[in-house]
Amino acid sequence: MVGKEEMRGLTQYIADLRACRVRELEEKRINKEMAHIRQKFKEGNLDGRQKKKYISKIIFTSILGYNVDVGHMEAVNLISSPKYSEKQIGYLALTLLMHENSDLVRLVVNSIRKDLDEMSEMNNCLALHAIANIGGAEMAEALAGDVHRLLISPTSRSFVKKKAALTLLRLYRKHPEVIPAAEWALRIVSIMDDHNLGVALAVTSLVMTLAQDNLEAYAVCYQKAVNRLSKIVIEEDYPSDYVYYKVPIPWLQVKLLRLLQYYPPSEDGTLRILLHNVLERILKNSQETPRNAQHNNAQNAVLFEAINLAIHLDTESTVVHAAAHLLGRFISAKETNVRYLGLDTMAHLAARSDSLDAIKVHQPIIIQSLRDKDISVRRRGLDLLYSMCDTTNSKTIVAELLKYMQVADYTLREEMVLKIAILTEKFAVEYEWYVDTILRLMSTAGDHVGEEVWYRIVQIVTNTEELQEYAARKVFDFLGNPSCHENVVKVGAYILGEYGHLIADEPGRSPIEQFSILHSRFNLCSTPTKALLLTTYFKWLNLFPEIQEQLVAVFRKCSHVLDAELQQRACEYLAVSQRPDEDLLQVVVDEMPPYPERESALLSRLLKKTGDTGDKRTWYIGGKEVNQGQDAERYKGFGRRKAKEVDPDSLVDVEPQQQQPTHAPGSAADDLMSSLAGLDLSTPGSAITPNPIVESPISTLSPSLPTAAAATAAPAAAKAVASASTPSARKPSTPLTHGADKWLSRLVYNNEGVLYEDGQLQVGIKSEFHGHLGRIALFFGNKISVALESFTATIDVDDPDAVSVTLPKIPTSHISAMSQIQQLVHVECKGVFSSPPILNISYLAGSLQTITLRLPIFLSKFIEPVQLGSNDFFERWKQIGGPPREQQKIFAIRLGSDGKVESEKHRKVVGGTKFGVLNGIDPNPINIVAAGVLHMSTGGKVGCLLRLEPNTEAKLCRLTIRSTNDRVSEELLSILVGSLAVK
């Protein structure tokens, strides 16, 4: 801190200014001091202490509101001072005296970067304050990377991380284009797991803003937010320092609950259950109203955000039903803030819910809120009435809004007009009511009615033939009111010009009376309205020839006015009226055609009006269909892995009987026969003799095979190996960690082993599969002497309709040094799938480490082995037939050290892929024959037969798979070739 002795001059200067009784004396003292300071700076030879003293006086003068044009360079020089007190004054001057586009700011970028790089936390914080307060585009572009580095550095203190996160948030809000938000996503999100809740709060604020524009990149924050909420609310895992009036860190809870609303509801059952438990606990903790105001405010802040999240997730959940009763109590509470929050949250419920019955119960109280003493409450009451309106209560609500319009605040009237017009059009059960209401609205609201409102009524009347006569009659009546507004005149001019002839024969509505009532408003209207009236008179020339003299007189009079638009119209209309050719007049003034159907401009304007907020809205005022449309736009493109489009020709090509369950309980062989039963035996395929295996071409290969044939087979085999070097030839959309497939290949036919290992982490696996279900235990072992922090494991599935993978609990975010944690994974095979699910691992070990692996979940894991006799096998083999249900590939194999085929390895691979190896079927002992049944929860059962024929002399092997589904045959062939072929 600056010593009193050093700043005695500043103290005296402040005392002198305060003693000045009039502004002239104050200005005189300031001018004298500034001249003195300017002279001192001009002389130079000032040390840091003296510069600091004079700069302090300049800062105080600036704070008083005087323009200061001296000392800027000296302030810049002070930033480089090694003394904290001098550096502090330099930074203070920088933030107060200079704007973001000042040329001097460029001079301090290097000094600020130097302070960011220092190990001094105080210097770091001064630099961060300056960046956040100035934050120009040039400074953001130059220093954003340094701020990010300070945020993620493991050596940064907690309060430095907090300031770095908030500084980065400030830069992004001002200049989002210079922040590589998606690139930094994983590293920033990992800090949400920080043990210091203050850091977690600051980073969550940053993630909230970044995620709104980068949903995909920050998707992992969803799991972290749920996990942190569960720890705070369910496990009560938080320091006592962060309990605010008995509510644990309410600011972080509110931000996490809001963050989850930016994402679509998770399909992960574990996360949904956890969130449901969190929301139930929050509601349970809020049953009693605290007497302490601060406790009540904190509790309500968390409660209302929790209700908003519950509504976002599922409006039919038990939490929302319980919350609906609470909201009914809140909207009639004595506290203004509680009423406001209750109305706002109930409007959210109305905007998402299918049924409005629970809200309509409170309709009288909601209508009463329009007359609340607080305008904010009145606004929320208006929003709620708009959202809860439907065909059953539209007349009541619109009538109340029209009634309130006469006494409503001027700031509310424009919005009320839009909402009344939208509701009237949307829920009109009678055309007449629509016309009456809109005309009454235009008469009542006056200048607050925008152009869109009368444009819309004109469109609807033009497009609705049965409404035209009534509209003409009604608008004529409204024109007779003494206080008729100009907007009604516009509507009357258009409608009477088009459809006035429909009522011309009625008493009191003759052509001359229509002209008189309209023209009586002519001199009181604006120029655009006068132009519209002239067009109406022009149309009447053809409809009402009996009043032609009066109409032509108006054209002659207006042909001499000064306004160019009116004069041109009048002259043109007069010229046409005086032509003897009446056909031309009839063509020119022909009736308007119907307008093309399009979205109402009223709704677009309202959405634009309500959507302009700092943070993007998670819902919009209005009904469910409005929010569904907005959600579709907001989530467009979200989801890295999309479900694949399945070619209909590749689906199961079998008779309906194949999908039926077995007609009697029995062995697996019975299941197989049942799944193969009913096949069309005339299906084209290779004819199979009673002993087909002996006659197969590859089994007759010998050392005397012609060289040309061998040369032809070798490239084919090499090509086959190249295309099947991995269990699935299809590449994932996310690059896998280098070298990960070498472990995966062993797990194709083994149920346990190492999935991945490096110098820091080992991932082991144990699995078991029964039918269409499977369970996997993942073991994450920390191999280093420090803990792994912010550990995250997520699973992405390429086709969730074919395979479901869920984590029954969220993985722990902390792995202690030299220890291991276990994570269970539940798997369900629903249909045929190609790509194994992807396991994404990230953790902090000094820096952020990311690992992307394939999980050993293949289609073959869901096969149950069966045993068949020779006759049964051959019969089924023949029934299935040839391609496309038969898939075959020839590939190169490696011989054992003794030069013979590794038959035991081949049996291990085939048996490990869950096929039942059938002994004594093939007369050649090195050939392998196997059978199994693939189980799928929605795709049913598929019988699978296999035949493996190696040839020692050619070092080649032929694998043939036949099944009742050609896609299954293709996938199983790819999996087995990837394990058997030479790598």
∠ Cα 938 942 961 (to 5°): 140
Q: How far apart are the first and last CA of the chain?
A: 70
Q: Distance between CA 843 and CA 760 in Å, rounded?
A: 10
Q: Is 54 annotated as a binding residue?
A: yes
Q: Distance between CA 153 and CA 26 in Å, rounded?
A: 50
The region, left, alpha or beta by phi > 0 then psi within -120 to 50, assigned to residue 546 is alpha
Question: Around Cβ 620, how many Cβ atoms within 10 Å?
Answer: 19
H-assigned helices in 178-292: 185-190, 197-213, 221-229, 250-261, 269-285
Tokens of 642: 């999309």
Q: Is 40 annotated as a binding residue?
A: yes
CA distances from 659 to 146, 448, 698, 944, 981 (A): 62, 66, 35, 15, 34
Q: How far is CA 622 from the centre of its chain?
A: 20
∠ Cα 701 705 709 (to 5°): 105
Question: Around Cβ 952, how many Cβ atoms within 10 Å?
Answer: 17
Q: Is 172 annotated as a binding residue?
A: no
Q: Residue-wise over 307-339: b if at least 16 C-beta within 10 A, else e?
A: bbbbbbbebebebbebbbebbbebbeeeeebbb
Handedness of CA 34, 37, 39, 42 (dihedral sign): negative
In the block, residue with structure tokens 């005086």: 578
CA distances from 9 to 55, 81, 727 (A): 12, 21, 80
Q: Distance between CA 166 and CA 147 in Å, rounded?
A: 10
Q: Distance between CA 575 and CA 581 in Å, rounded?
A: 11
Tokens of 598: 């399009």
Q: Is 941 annotated as a binding residue?
A: no
Q: Is 470 annotated as a binding residue?
A: no
Residue 260 identity: L
Q: Distance between CA 934 and CA 932 in Å, rounded?
A: 7
In the block, residue with structure tokens 């493991």: 154
Q: Residue-wise over 224-250: b if at least 16 C-beta within 10 A, else e?
A: bbbbbbbbbbeeeebeeebeeeebbbb
Q: Is 636 annotated as a binding residue?
A: no
Closest CA to 807 of 275, 225, 224, 270: 270
The answer to whether the CB of 461 falls within 8 A of the CB of 471 is yes
Q: Distance between CA 511 and CA 522 in Å, rounded?
A: 17
Pairs from 53-57 (Cβ < 8 Å, separation ≥ 24): 53/6, 53/7, 53/9, 53/10, 55/89, 55/90, 55/93, 56/2, 56/7, 56/10, 56/89, 57/9, 57/10, 57/13, 57/33
What ranges make up the beta strands (E) of 489-609? none
Question: Around Cβ 788, how many Cβ atoms within 10 Å?
Answer: 25
Q: Is 637 annotated as a binding residue?
A: no
Binding site feature residues: 8-9, 40, 53-57
